[in-house]
Amino acid sequence: MSTSLVESDKKMDLKIPHEIQDRVKNFHESIINIETIMKPMLSKPHNDLHEKLLPIEKAKMDLMVAYTVNSMFWMFLNASGENTKEHPVKQELERLRGYMHKVKQIVDKEKAARLDKDAAKRFVKHALWEPKPAAPVDTSINPPISGNGRNTSQAKRSLADNMQQSSKKQRQDDSMKTS
Protein backbone atom coordinates (compact mmCIF):
# COMPACT_ATOMS: atom_id res chain seq x y z
CA MET A 1 0.00 0.00 0.00
CA SER A 2 1.24 3.50 -0.76
CA THR A 3 1.66 6.05 2.02
CA SER A 4 -1.20 8.16 0.66
CA LEU A 5 -3.47 5.13 0.94
CA VAL A 6 -2.38 4.52 4.54
CA GLU A 7 -3.03 8.16 5.37
CA SER A 8 -6.42 7.98 3.68
CA ASP A 9 -7.21 4.84 5.72
CA LYS A 10 -6.61 6.81 8.92
CA LYS A 11 -8.88 9.58 7.66
CA MET A 12 -11.54 7.02 6.75
CA ASP A 13 -11.59 5.74 10.27
CA LEU A 14 -12.46 9.20 11.50
CA LYS A 15 -15.15 10.27 9.02
CA ILE A 16 -16.68 7.24 7.31
CA PRO A 17 -19.03 4.78 9.03
CA HIS A 18 -17.50 1.36 9.64
CA GLU A 19 -20.17 -0.40 7.51
CA ILE A 20 -18.90 1.08 4.25
CA GLN A 21 -15.19 1.58 4.96
CA ASP A 22 -14.24 -1.56 3.00
CA ARG A 23 -16.19 -0.39 -0.03
CA VAL A 24 -14.61 3.05 0.07
CA LYS A 25 -11.18 1.48 0.46
CA ASN A 26 -11.77 -0.78 -2.58
CA PHE A 27 -13.05 2.20 -4.55
CA HIS A 28 -9.95 4.19 -3.63
CA GLU A 29 -7.67 1.31 -4.72
CA SER A 30 -9.55 1.10 -8.02
CA ILE A 31 -8.99 4.82 -8.61
CA ILE A 32 -5.27 4.37 -8.00
CA ASN A 33 -5.20 1.43 -10.46
CA ILE A 34 -6.98 3.52 -13.09
CA GLU A 35 -4.49 6.36 -12.60
CA THR A 36 -1.59 3.92 -13.01
CA ILE A 37 -3.05 2.46 -16.20
CA MET A 38 -3.93 5.87 -17.67
CA LYS A 39 -0.64 7.59 -16.75
CA PRO A 40 1.20 6.60 -19.98
CA MET A 41 -1.70 7.83 -22.07
CA LEU A 42 -2.05 11.07 -20.15
CA SER A 43 1.69 11.84 -20.28
CA LYS A 44 1.68 12.29 -24.09
CA PRO A 45 -0.53 14.47 -26.26
CA HIS A 46 -3.49 12.62 -27.76
CA ASN A 47 -2.40 13.47 -31.34
CA ASP A 48 1.06 11.94 -30.79
CA LEU A 49 -0.53 8.69 -29.67
CA HIS A 50 -2.98 8.69 -32.57
CA GLU A 51 -0.31 9.16 -35.27
CA LYS A 52 1.41 5.88 -34.39
CA LEU A 53 -1.71 3.73 -34.36
CA LEU A 54 -3.53 1.80 -37.04
CA PRO A 55 -7.15 2.85 -37.71
CA ILE A 56 -8.61 -0.06 -35.74
CA GLU A 57 -6.31 0.71 -32.81
CA LYS A 58 -7.38 4.37 -32.96
CA ALA A 59 -11.01 3.29 -32.75
CA LYS A 60 -10.24 1.04 -29.79
CA MET A 61 -8.38 3.80 -27.98
CA ASP A 62 -11.07 6.41 -28.59
CA LEU A 63 -13.77 4.01 -27.41
CA MET A 64 -11.77 3.16 -24.32
CA VAL A 65 -11.28 6.82 -23.43
CA ALA A 66 -14.95 7.66 -24.02
CA TYR A 67 -16.11 4.64 -22.04
CA THR A 68 -13.72 5.45 -19.17
CA VAL A 69 -14.89 9.07 -18.95
CA ASN A 70 -18.55 8.08 -19.06
CA SER A 71 -18.01 5.32 -16.51
CA MET A 72 -16.30 7.73 -14.15
CA PHE A 73 -19.17 10.19 -14.56
CA TRP A 74 -21.66 7.39 -13.91
CA MET A 75 -19.76 6.49 -10.71
CA PHE A 76 -19.81 10.15 -9.66
CA LEU A 77 -23.57 10.35 -10.19
CA ASN A 78 -24.08 7.09 -8.34
CA ALA A 79 -21.94 8.29 -5.41
CA SER A 80 -23.88 11.59 -5.36
CA GLY A 81 -27.14 9.71 -4.95
CA GLU A 82 -28.48 10.43 -8.43
CA ASN A 83 -30.77 7.94 -10.17
CA THR A 84 -28.36 6.52 -12.76
CA LYS A 85 -30.88 4.06 -14.23
CA GLU A 86 -32.73 6.80 -16.08
CA HIS A 87 -29.80 9.18 -16.67
CA PRO A 88 -28.61 9.73 -20.29
CA VAL A 89 -25.11 8.58 -19.33
CA LYS A 90 -26.45 5.01 -19.09
CA GLN A 91 -27.66 5.22 -22.71
CA GLU A 92 -24.27 6.59 -23.72
CA LEU A 93 -22.50 3.68 -22.04
CA GLU A 94 -24.78 1.22 -23.86
CA ARG A 95 -24.09 2.97 -27.17
CA LEU A 96 -20.35 2.77 -26.56
CA ARG A 97 -20.63 -0.93 -25.67
CA GLY A 98 -22.38 -1.48 -29.00
CA TYR A 99 -19.52 0.19 -30.87
CA MET A 100 -16.99 -1.82 -28.86
CA HIS A 101 -18.82 -4.98 -29.94
CA LYS A 102 -18.67 -3.88 -33.60
CA VAL A 103 -14.92 -3.23 -33.35
CA LYS A 104 -14.46 -6.66 -31.75
CA GLN A 105 -16.37 -8.28 -34.63
CA ILE A 106 -14.12 -6.51 -37.15
CA VAL A 107 -10.98 -7.67 -35.33
CA ASP A 108 -12.32 -11.23 -35.07
CA LYS A 109 -13.17 -11.22 -38.77
CA GLU A 110 -9.63 -10.14 -39.63
CA LYS A 111 -8.21 -12.91 -37.46
CA ALA A 112 -10.43 -15.57 -39.02
CA ALA A 113 -8.75 -18.00 -41.38
CA ARG A 114 -8.95 -17.05 -45.00
CA LEU A 115 -9.67 -19.63 -47.69
CA ASP A 116 -6.82 -20.29 -50.06
CA LYS A 117 -8.77 -21.33 -53.15
CA ASP A 118 -5.81 -22.87 -54.95
CA ALA A 119 -4.88 -24.98 -51.93
CA ALA A 120 -8.51 -26.05 -51.52
CA LYS A 121 -8.66 -27.14 -55.17
CA ARG A 122 -5.46 -29.17 -54.80
CA PHE A 123 -6.79 -30.77 -51.63
CA VAL A 124 -10.07 -31.77 -53.25
CA LYS A 125 -8.36 -32.98 -56.39
CA HIS A 126 -6.04 -35.27 -54.45
CA ALA A 127 -8.76 -36.43 -52.07
CA LEU A 128 -11.04 -37.65 -54.86
CA TRP A 129 -10.73 -41.13 -56.28
CA GLU A 130 -9.20 -41.29 -59.70
CA PRO A 131 -9.55 -44.47 -61.78
CA LYS A 132 -6.22 -45.96 -62.68
CA PRO A 133 -5.53 -46.58 -66.36
CA ALA A 134 -6.52 -50.05 -67.47
CA ALA A 135 -3.77 -52.60 -67.53
CA PRO A 136 -2.73 -53.66 -71.02
CA VAL A 137 -4.71 -56.68 -72.21
CA ASP A 138 -2.78 -59.81 -73.03
CA THR A 139 -4.12 -60.66 -76.47
CA SER A 140 -2.48 -64.07 -76.55
CA ILE A 141 -5.01 -65.38 -73.98
CA ASN A 142 -8.14 -63.62 -75.29
CA PRO A 143 -7.76 -62.52 -78.89
CA PRO A 144 -9.53 -59.26 -79.76
CA ILE A 145 -13.18 -59.37 -80.82
CA SER A 146 -12.82 -56.85 -83.58
CA GLY A 147 -11.49 -57.60 -87.04
CA ASN A 148 -12.37 -59.90 -89.92
CA GLY A 149 -11.66 -63.17 -88.16
CA ARG A 150 -13.75 -65.94 -86.82
CA ASN A 151 -13.95 -64.30 -83.39
CA THR A 152 -15.93 -61.38 -84.78
CA SER A 153 -18.64 -63.57 -86.25
CA GLN A 154 -18.82 -65.63 -83.05
CA ALA A 155 -19.25 -62.45 -81.01
CA LYS A 156 -22.02 -61.24 -83.32
CA ARG A 157 -23.85 -64.57 -83.06
CA SER A 158 -23.52 -64.60 -79.29
CA LEU A 159 -24.88 -61.05 -79.11
CA ALA A 160 -27.81 -61.92 -81.40
CA ASP A 161 -28.61 -65.01 -79.29
CA ASN A 162 -28.56 -62.96 -76.08
CA MET A 163 -30.88 -60.38 -77.62
CA GLN A 164 -33.34 -63.07 -78.77
CA GLN A 165 -33.41 -64.71 -75.34
CA SER A 166 -33.91 -61.37 -73.71
CA SER A 167 -36.81 -60.43 -75.99
CA LYS A 168 -38.48 -63.86 -75.45
CA LYS A 169 -38.23 -63.45 -71.71
CA GLN A 170 -39.63 -59.92 -71.94
CA ARG A 171 -42.63 -61.19 -73.97
CA GLN A 172 -43.28 -63.94 -71.44
CA ASP A 173 -43.16 -61.43 -68.56
CA ASP A 174 -45.53 -59.11 -70.42
CA SER A 175 -48.02 -61.94 -71.16
CA MET A 176 -48.00 -63.00 -67.49
CA LYS A 177 -48.76 -59.45 -66.38
CA THR A 178 -51.77 -59.12 -68.72
CA SER A 179 -53.35 -62.44 -67.73
Q: What's the pLDDT score for residue 1?
A: 43
Over residues 63-83, the pLDDT tens digits come to 998 998 999 899 899 888 889
Point out the least confidently predicted range of 63-67, 93-97, 156-160. Answer: 156-160
Over residues 48-58, the pLDDT tens digits come to 888 888 999 99
Q: For residues 103 and 99, what is the distance between their CA atoms, to the nearest angstrom? A: 6
Q: For residues 55 and 103, what is the distance between their CA atoms, to the nearest angstrom? A: 11
- The full set of domain ranges for the chain reads 1-43, 45-112
Point out the least confidently predicted range of 67-81, 89-103, 104-118. Answer: 104-118
Over residues 1-46, the pLDDT tens digits come to 444 544 555 554 567 788 888 888 888 998 899 888 878 877 888 8
> Buried b / exposed e across 126-160, counting CB within 10 Å, b at 16+?
eeeeeeeeeeeeeeeeeeeeeeeeeeeeeeeeeee
Q: For residues 127 and 135, what is the distance between their CA atoms, to the nearest angstrom? A: 23
Over residues 115-155, the pLDDT tens digits come to 778 888 888 887 777 777 776 666 565 555 555 555 566 66
Q: What is the largest CA-CA distance in the chain?
A: 124
DSSP 112: S
77 CB contacts (<8 Å, ≥6 apart)? Answer: 84, 87, 89
Q: For residues 65 and 60, what is the distance between their CA atoms, to the nearest angstrom? A: 9
Tally the C-alpha atoms within 13 A of residue 59's C-alpha that lie toward its C-beta: 14
